[in-house]
Copies of this chain bind each other. A is one copy, B any other.
């Protein structure tokens, strides 16, 4: 570091380094690779240091999931509020953002959709972040279907796209078995919901 930091700043930097290190280990080696010793080493500290910033390992992982959910919400928000986009296009982009996480960071994706564990405060933060991301999706769907049965269609879309992504990530959607890509499934689903919402 060029500008040396106050103690609080330095501690915050360590906390960030721990989160980044853990996230990197998760991405590259899966949950098995995320050991407090490895996290500490990669963050330039020792195995016990994380306990100064997180109550336990579960809370560290849950915090990573919460941050990823916040990031997702941050990515979707500008799409939702963009006045130059049609609702259908907004939805397509929002869903693509979700599926991209699944493909590029499968382990992180799993973490994001697993019930959070660890310290109650951390768990509550993760739930809040998840709610925010869900809220963004719901608002876009509401725009799309015009307020009619918003929750039902939003829930159906989100759960279905999650299922598609999750099964693809776990290798249960192999191209040569189903002769269908995840994108085709999503677009089929969206067009069906679109038709259903307009029609009767």
Contacts and interface: CB of A to CB of B under 8 A. Distances in A.
A186 B184 CA distance: 20
Interface size class on chain A is 35 or more
A164 B172 contact: no
Interface stretch (A72-80, A84-92, A173-181): A173-181
Interface string A115-152: 10000000000000011001000000000000000011
A41 interface: no
A178 B151 contact: yes
A171 to B, nearest CB: 5
B170 A163 contact: no
Q: Would you call the interface of chain A mostly helix, strand, loop, or mixed?
A: helix
How many copies are assembled? 2
Given A177-B131, A192-B192, A196-B192, A159 B152 contact: no
A193 interface: yes
B172 A130 contact: yes
A106 B126 CA distance: 21
Contacts of A164: 156, 159-160, 163
A162 B170 CA distance: 12
Nearest to A30: B117
A5 interface: no
Contact of A113 (B158, B167, B188, B192): B167
Best-buried of A115, A152, A158, A159 by chain B (most CB within 10 Å):
A159
Contacts of A189: 156, 160
A34 to B, nearest CB: 15
A114 interface: yes
Given A113-B167, A163-B163, A173 B155 contact: yes
A70 interface: no
